Chain A
Amino acid sequence: MKKVIYTLMTTIFLGMVFMSFHKEPASASAVSTKPATTSPGLPAPGADKAASQKAFLAVYKVLMSPRCMNCHPSGDAPLQGDDSHPHAQNVQRGAEGKGVYALKCTNCHQPQNTPGENMPPGNPKWSLPPADMKMVFQGRTPRQLAAQLLDPKLNGGRTKQQLIDHVTSDTLVLWGWHPGDGRTTPPLNHAEFARQFKRWIDKGAYLPDK
């Protein structure tokens, strides 16, 4: 009888341990408003809150640079220039993020950069995020932006792996490092940016404290 009880208790204990290790860290499991560390459960193997937060702060500097933020505005007009002023000509986002009427993005923005300073930059996918998923960068704190990026309801339904793939190989993201004449590039090179983004996720996708 003792042996049976002992075996039963051991099985329950091992089961609990097993289940606890299969929970993801809080920040990795979605919804934005919850801080990374408030959810119960042990972090995934390799999780490192400090390293994850530090990596995101490096990512944040890139996302808030004009080449990235200018097309992730808080309003419905894209931004221009290193001072991120509202786009000339009263350009509007439109429902699909492609402009409106005679002022659609690709009416001026070509599949490639037009050579010369102050000429329209270009990319085949030139657009803003759509009106129903604005993915605002402008004005977001690091914590707010990290939470927003992780929330599938706000990030276009992307998983963490899809987020990594997006920042690593999307042609419009890559444009930020080939922005055409007279435009500054983000503060990290693209390879380092993608590396820091992946590190943020791999180390647990923790939200910064602020």
Chain B
Amino acid sequence: MVKLTVNQKEYQVDASPDMPLLWVLRDVLGLTGTKFGCGMALCGACTVHLNGEAVRSCVTLLERAAGQQITTIEGLSADNSHPLQKAWIQADVPQCGYCQSGQIMSAAVLLRENPHPTDKDIDDAMTGNICRCGTYPRIRKAIHLAAQLQEGGAQ
């Protein structure tokens, strides 16, 4: 059994230590907001936070996550009130939506470390998250909007 803290809730997981964290989240814990894209850390669809950092859960083994703090899209806020979630809705960002939880989890790290990102900062932070629908202009717009919401306090 491996002890895991996901979205501030503790779990005892009966899984092999070398199982990818993504498998544990989706198939063992039923947290299916995080998506499988490439399985090779190339696309960013599986991005979750491990102690606050935007790791690729498809290549992160359960043993690395054991005893650490995991946050998935389901735990970013209790009621979709995170500035990024509000901005995403307001800017109507998703098309098919498959990559969007990974996009938001990556953007959350950007905004935490740089509350007023420029377009270049956004490029530097988000280029590793691929969107096959090409929603990049709306992602950029929503991140700027979320920065404003964050500054004014989430409304």
Contact = CB atoms under 8 A, between A and B. Distances in A.
Interface in A83-123: 88-92, 100-104, 106-108, 110-111, 114, 116, 118-120
B106 to A, nearest CB: 4
Interface string B39-62: 011101001000001111001110
Interface string B61-93: 100100000000000000000000000000000
A102 B129 contact: yes
Interface string B10-48: 000000000000000000000000000000111010010
A114 B60 CA distance: 9
A88 B127 CA distance: 9
Interface residues of B, number: 28
A27 to B, nearest CB: 40
A105 to B, nearest CB: 10
A110 B128 contact: no
Given A88-B42, A108-B41, A120-B41, A102 B59 contact: no
Interface string B121-138: 101111111000000000
A107 B55 contact: yes
A119 B58 CA distance: 11
Contacts of A92: 124
A110 B47 contact: no
Interface in A142-174: none
Contacts of A107: 53-56
Interface of A: 88-92, 100-104, 106-108, 110-111, 114, 116, 118-120
Interface of B: 40-42, 44, 47, 53-56, 59-61, 64, 105-107, 109-110, 113-114, 121, 123-129
19 contacts: A88-B42, A89-B127, A89-B128, A100-B125, A101-B113, A102-B44, A102-B105, A102-B110, A102-B126, A103-B128, A104-B54, A106-B53, A106-B55, A107-B53, A108-B56, A114-B59, A119-B40, A119-B41, A119-B59
Pairs of residues from A and B, 6 with the lowest C-beta to C-beta distance, nearest first: A101-B125, A102-B106, A108-B41, A89-B128, A102-B54, A90-B127
